[in-house]
């Protein structure tokens, strides 16, 4: 399964310990973004306080384990889709179990509480064209799409799953068809 082509430059939103970088081919560019600077070259911004992107060229945006920390997803997505129109966007979302208090031991861990892919699609569709579920892992889903474009008139053809993360080591994902 490939999502990132060998010559892409990846903007990693919520990069944390920069684990994604270990899965990328050496020819990929990598721009880590997080709200704290634990690693070198991290662009630091708290998206719950302000919206800024690094002044660098990127061809793909990945937000794995990031969206759950946003307090205002529509506002963030409106700004991201305007700033990066036409950019492939891959994100994961870890769901809250229905009727269960989310992360009760660590209430700071998540700021929004969606329970299904349908809820995610309803919120993200105005900002992400060709939004689709790519893979499901236990309580989370990997989504893909193209930022800030109109499905019918963009002229952008979304990459197929097999055309897209060079993986140095295998990942086990349940692919959705």
- Per-residue model confidence (pLDDT) at position 115: 83
Q: Please work out, in degrees rounded to the nearest 5, the angle formed at the alpha carbon of residue 91 by the alpha carbons of 109 and 50.
A: 60
Give 103-142 pLDDT, tens digit per residue.
Answer: 445 444 556 778 888 999 999 999 999 999 999 887 889 9
- Per-residue model confidence (pLDDT) at position 100: 55
d(CA 169, CA 115): 30
Give 14-31 pLDDT, tens digit per residue.
Answer: 999 999 999 999 999 999
Q: Averaged over 40-47, what is the pLDDT?
A: 94
Q: Could you give all domains of the chain from N- to C-terminal order, each with its CATH number?
A: 9-175 (3.40.50.150)
- The percentage of residues in the chain with a pLDDT greater than 90, rounded to a whole number, is 57
Task: Give the up-direction half-sphere exposure of residue 79: CA atoms within 13 A in the CB hemisphere.
Answer: 10
- Per-residue model confidence (pLDDT) at position 177: 40
DSSP state of 69: G
């Amino acid at each position: 399964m490939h999502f990132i082509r060998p010559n892409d430059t990846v903007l990693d939103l919520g990069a944390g310990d920069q684990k994604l970088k270990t899965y990328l081919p050496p020819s990929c560019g990598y721009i880590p973004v997080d709200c704290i600077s634990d690693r070198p070259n991290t662009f630091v911004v708290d998206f719950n306080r302000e919206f800024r992107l690094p002044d660098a060229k990127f061809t793909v945006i990945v937000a794995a384990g990031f969206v759950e920390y946003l307090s205002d997803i529509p506002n963030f997505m409106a700004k991201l889709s305007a700033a990066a129109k036409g950019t492939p966007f891959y994100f994961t979302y870890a769901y809250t179990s229905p009727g269960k208090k989310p992360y009760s031991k660590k209430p700071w861990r998540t700021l929004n509480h969606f329970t299904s892919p349908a809820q995610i699609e309803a919120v993200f569709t105005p900002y992400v064209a060709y939004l689709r579920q790519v893979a499901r892992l236990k309580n989370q889903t990997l989504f893909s799409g193209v930022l800030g474009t109109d499905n019918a008139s963009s002229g952008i053809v979304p990459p197929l799953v097999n055309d897209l993360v060079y993986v140095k080591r295998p990942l086990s994902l349940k692919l959705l068809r």
